[in-house]
Amino acid sequence: MPKHPSPWLYIPSLYFLEGLPYIIINAVSVVLYADIGFSNDQIAFWTGWLYLPWTLKMLWSPLVDGKSSKRRWLLGAQTAMAAVFLLLAALTAWNAFTYAQQLNNLTFFSLSLFGFLAGAFVSATLDIATDGYYLLALTAPQQGYFVGIRTIFYRLAMIFGSGILVAAVGALAQPTAELSSHFIKWPYNWALMFLFLTALFAGGALWHRFVLPAPAGDGPAAPQGQNAWADAFKTYFCQKNIIYILIFILFYRLGDALLEKIVPLFLLRGAEEGALGLSVQSYGLIKGTLGLGAIIAGNLAGGWLLGKYGFKKCIWPFAIILILPNFFYIYMAYARPGVVLTALLITLEHFGNGLALMAFSVFIMYVSQGKYKTSHYAISTGIMALGMMAPSMLSGTWQMRLGYGPYFIVVAAVSVCTLTVIPLTFKIKSIEETEKAFRTHKMHIGDAD
């Protein structure tokens, strides 16, 4: 392996493995519990707690900054994720056995939630280390070039996890009378999924151990005797325009937070509950095939537009595109469209999200500067997780009280609040300063080497 391998050898795989646990823990867990038969309020409330590690990761991000290297942290976290998925595979296989024995599955619910929570802490640490490593291992031109690439592979992981992987699980087995004809019996198909993830992360950790370079600046950020934790938080919360930064991070994705747990349930639950009644396989295929292409197109378009016109010129149209798909669900709740139209609307939603969330990714990168940039990035994403956690935990109870149609009307109205925070970004000086610094470099293919 060359001393300075091309970032193409590791940036795509790093961000694919960074995004996959997040979507498995926060979204696929919802599909798993819905497939097994838990209620909407149970699922939304308890899986909402799984955001907690991403909210709290700002508390131990200075530890990642101040101890050892980002390279070692991310290799360790990838290995630990393999162990967590192996535990979840064992728990799910045990739960499948309890179904055969007609035993109560509440113990599985508690134990699997503990496993997902452990995975969330590991995944949050992996986020800190991977994002910090990116900022250290790549030069400024490379960072500018790969900001779109890393976002694409992060989003690809999310679509792969919630789409292709779920479709494969649904194709292997369904909770119906035809199970006897399947090679894998329900719900052992879920255990097989976790075994696949175990192998994927073990292989990824091994690959990165050989391919990742060791950047010269990859070491403890704080000098001996200095309190890295206090210094990182002080420099973040004392930066200019911090109030505007916090408001934007908390409210930009408010609509997403209210929909994230409910949309899978709306698509999967039966028509008698006011939902669309898709099979697990159909749900996964829509998310993983059409959604896959749409998210790539959205990310590519968003990256190109941001690079050409800049953050401040793009943020208004991107924010409008982000909230428009929320109104699609009002239509779907009342019109009950067929699979084809449902697939089209969800595809448009994925394109809009891919476009708009590029701006959010760039925003966080622009406000994460200085020697504690790893901690600053983690603090920003932790605050974002807090903005996602609280609404998502309550979403199941609100949906069950209102019904799907009225709930989606409320969400669409609330999501318009996103537009009220956009003007604040024009007052944040660090965005303009950082964008100017990036624009001093021409972003060419050569910057990737």
With vertex at residue 143, the alpha carbon angle to CA 293 and CA 255, rounded to the nearest 5 degrees, is 50
Mutual orientation of helices 373-402 and 52-66 as an angle, nearest 10°? 170
User: Is the residue at 2 inside a domain?
Assistant: no
pLDDT of the chain along its 449 residues, tens only? 556 788 899 999 999 999 999 999 988 999 888 888 888 888 888 898 998 898 888 788 777 777 778 889 999 999 999 999 999 999 888 876 666 444 446 778 888 999 999 999 999 999 988 988 888 888 777 777 787 788 788 878 988 888 889 888 888 876 654 544 456 777 788 999 999 999 999 999 999 999 998 887 776 665 554 566 778 888 888 888 899 999 999 999 898 899 988 998 999 888 888 899 888 888 888 876 787 778 788 888 888 888 788 888 889 999 999 999 889 999 999 999 989 999 999 999 989 888 888 888 888 888 877 777 777 887 888 888 888 888 988 998 999 999 999 999 999 999 887 788 999 888 887 777 666 655 555 444 334 44
Q: Is residue 287 part of a domain?
A: yes
Evaluate whether residue 18 is within a structural domain. yes
Is 1 within the bounds of a domain? no
In order of 21, 271, 306, the CA distances from 192 in angstroms are 16, 29, 40
Q: Could you tell me which residues come within 8 angstroms of residue 100 by beta carbon, excluding any fewer than 6 positions away? A: none
The one-letter code for the residue type at 183 is F
pLDDT at position 413 is 92
CA atoms of 441 and 439, how far apart (whole Å):
5
Helices 339-366 & 242-251 angle (0-180, nearest 10): 170
10: DSSP letter: T
Q: Which domain holds residue 397?
A: 7-448
Task: Give the global pTM.
Answer: 0.76
Overall residue count recorded for the chain in this entry: 449
Distance CA 333, CA 404 (A): 6
Which one, of 421, 426, 169, lies nearest residue 319 by Cα?
421
Rounded Cα gap, residues 352 and 344, in angstroms: 12
The neighbour count for residue 178, using CB atoms within 10 Å, is 9
For residues 110 and 224, what is the distance between their CA atoms, to the nearest angstrom? Answer: 42
| DSSP states of 23-55 | HIIIIIHHHHHHHHT--HHHHHHHHHGGGHHHH
Q: Residue 378 is part of a domain; what is its CATH number?
A: 1.20.1250.20
User: Looking at residue 426, what DSSP letter applies?
Assistant: T
Radius of gyration of the chain (CA): 22
pLDDT at 225: 46
Which phi and psi (to 5°) does residue 39 adopt?
Answer: -80, 160
Residue 377: C-alpha distances to residues 19, 58, 368 (Å): 16, 9, 5
Q: Report how many domains make up the chain.
A: 1
- Tokens read off for 399: 């949906």
d(CA 371, CA 224): 15
8 Å CB contact between 327 and 412: yes
- Distance from C-alpha of 395 to C-alpha of 262, rounded to nearest angstrom: 7
Question: Is the link from the previous residue into 215 a cis peptide, with omega within 30 of 0?
Answer: no
Residues 447 and 241: their CA atoms lie apart, in Å, by: 32
Q: Mind giving me the DSSP string for 219-287? A: S-SSPTT--HHHHHHHHHHTSTTHHHHHHHHHHTTHHHHHHTTHHHHHHHS-GGGTS----HHHHHHII
* 100 burial type by CB count under 10 A (0-12 exposed, 13-18 middle, 19+ buried): exposed
Residue type, 20: L
The one-letter code for the residue type at 235 is T
Longest dimension (CA), the chain: 66
Look-up of token digits 């399947």: 182
Q: Which residues of 256-280 are buried (b: 16+ CB within 10 A; e: fewer)?
A: bbbbbbbbbbbbbbeeeebbbebbb
Residues whose CB is less than 8 angstroms from the CB of residue 318 and which lie 6 or more positions away in sequence, other chains included: 302, 355, 356, 358, 359
How much is the pLDDT for 93? 86
Token pair in block for residue 153: 């592979």
